[in-house]
């Protein structure tokens, strides 16, 4: 298995632009988590899905952030409009709740908003 695949690996954009981060979970995994990591705040859970349904989005910082999981093999995290304070590494992680399996992380997307 190729693991959790995130794209792009790096994204540099100007303030005000829309940013879309993508995640492909490991096949068979039915839980998906979006995390953000910064030096100041460490790892923060933004939102997680179970069987494509958003379960808890209380970590989403504000309305500029939105996440979707249209099917079991794809999720997006969108920021519109982006701001410099959104600069961070965004991780996607997946696991199978049914099999009580380990959590696996993608390699992350490093976002820089100038």
Question: Which residues contact other proteins by CB under 8 A?
Answer: 33, 37, 42-43, 45, 48, 50, 55-56, 89, 91, 93, 97, 100-105, 107-108, 110
Containing 68, the helix (H) or strand (E) segment is: strand 65-71
Q: Given the complex with other proteins, which of 81 and 105 has the nearer CB atom?
A: 105
Expressed in angstroms, the distance from the first to the final Cα of the chain is 36
Nearest-approach distance from CB 49 to other proteins, in angstroms: 10
- Choice between 58 and 71, CB closer to other proteins: 58
What would you report as the CA-atom Rg of the chain, rounded to the nearest whole angstrom? 13
Residues 49/56, Cβ–Cβ less than 8 Å: no
| Residue placing its CB nearer to other proteins in the complex, 85 or 97 | 97
Q: To the nearest whole angstrom, how small is the minimum distance from the Cβ of residue 4 to other proteins?
A: 10
Give just the sign of the alpha carbon dihedral 62, 84, 109, 13: positive
């Amino acid at each position: 298995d190729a693991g959790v695949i995130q794209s792009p690996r790096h994204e540099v954009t100007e303030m005000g632009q829309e940013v879309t981060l993508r995640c492909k979970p490991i096949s068979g995994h039915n839980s998906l988590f979006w995390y953000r990591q910064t030096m100041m705040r460490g790892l923060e859970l933004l939102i997680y899905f179970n069987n494509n349904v958003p379960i808890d989005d209380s970590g989403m910082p504000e309305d500029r952030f939105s996440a979707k999981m249209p099917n079991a093999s794809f999720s997006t995290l969108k920021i519109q409009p982006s701001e410099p304070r959104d600069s961070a590494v965004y991780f996607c992680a997946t696991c199978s709740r049914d099999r009580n399996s380990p959590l696996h992380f993608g390699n992350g997307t490093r976002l820089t908003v100038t």
